Amino acid sequence: MRDIGLVGVPFSGRSTLFTALTRSGSHGGQANVAVVSVPDPRLAVLTGLERSRKTVPAQVRFVDVPGGVSSAQGLARLREVDALAVVVRSFGPDRRPKEELETVRSELLLADLAVIESALTKAEKRARGKPSAEVDALRRASETLGSERPLRDASLTEEDRDQLKAIAPLTLKPEVVVANLEEGEDVPSELPAAVGVYASIEAETAEMDPDEARALLEEFGVAEPGLDRVIAAGYGALDLITFLTTGDDETRAWEVRSGATAPEAAGAIHTDLQRGFIRAEVISYDDLVAAGSMDAAKAAGKVRVEGKDYVVREGDVLHVRFAV
């Protein structure tokens, strides 16, 4: 499960977005945390095909902290998340979404710079003038931030990133920009890559039955719920794909990084499967649905046997063979 932290300037609608995405209320003065299921219509189809007794979607945890980057508590909690969703107000006559985005990015950068410089001072004292990978990484990070560039845009090596893990820099985390819109408005032209969400409208449907809420949103012209769009953008920023498992017991969605091998995907299910990996039986979701069942797919020769070097693809349905 991945954590996505919501951050934004006051009155950006960050907490309203949290309510809209998670269908749960927010509480002032404390971190708001909610786990939501990742929407994936493929699960219902596979559950029907295999008559699975249980359906288990992938999950994402949204975190909305009080004070955001303006409080020590907020900063500490945000450093624990996997990605950031920057919420900018994109409605009203006085809206300035691009300025809001730049303000949040500047605050994140300054917060990182303060922590990096403190860590660098301590690391230099420990090194006592001797070569140090930690010092080198911190210096490169400090120089990048000092030039007003986020660390995700820096040319950091894997060793550099390992050295910075304990600090968990905010500007090294993948970022998604969410434009908080009002009815009838589009994503501002100055934020072409932003995800548009009608947070206020969707928050009002938070306590409704999901099917009724979706029908009402469609009346407002909201064809795709904000949750779907934000999660899709978050997966893209985190470079994640989804693979599936299905059978009599359960149909389930799993997240794994793009480029992961079959043993790494097996490890997402259970570490024992990765350690004892022998092979994976693989079929694409589309091929399985076209065949009508796993047994029919096997009879038609659509199920492939893949080894340790196989790179898992989006929508692959896997059955892992392993030995403990």
Q: Pick from 271, 250, 254: which is nearest to 324 by CA?
A: 271
* Alpha-helix residue ranges (DSSP H) falling in 66-132: 72-78, 97-127
Look at residue 211 in the predicted model and tell me its pLDDT.
79
| Residue 51, phi-psi category: left (phi > 0), alpha (psi -120 to 50), beta (remainder) | left
Question: Distances in Å between the alpha carbon of 170 and those of 10, 78, 79?
Answer: 19, 7, 6
Q: Pick from 186, 203, 204: which is nearest to 97 by CA?
A: 186
Look at residue 24 in the predicted model and tell me its pLDDT.
79
Report whether 174 contacts 108 (CB < 8 A): no
Under DSSP, the state recorded for 151 is G
Q: What is the pLDDT of residues 141-150, one digit of tens each?
A: 999 999 999 9
Identify which has the larger pLDDT, 314 or 215.
314
Q: What is the pLDDT of residues 220-243, one digit of tens each?
A: 778 788 889 999 999 999 999 999
Range 117-139 average pLDDT: 94
pLDDT above 90: percentage of residues in the chain: 78
pLDDT confidence bin for 139, thresholds 50/70/90: very high
Q: What is the pLDDT of residues 167-219, one digit of tens each?
A: 999 999 999 999 999 888 899 999 989 999 999 988 888 778 877 878 888 88
Sign of CA dihedral 267, 273, 279, 285: negative
Under DSSP, the state recorded for 152 is G
Q: What is the pLDDT of residues 273-287, one digit of tens each?
A: 999 999 999 999 999
Range 36-57 average pLDDT: 96
CA neighbours closer than 13 Å in the CB half-sphere of residue 77: 22
Per mean pLDDT, which range of 208-212, 254-258, 267-271 is the poorest?
208-212
Question: Distances in Å between the alpha carbon of 212 and those of 168, 193, 206, 209, 218?
Answer: 41, 30, 11, 5, 10
Look at residue 23 in the predicted model and tell me its pLDDT.
84
Residues facing 317 on adjacent strands:
244, 283
Domains in the chain, ordered, with CATH?
A: 259-322 (3.10.20.30)
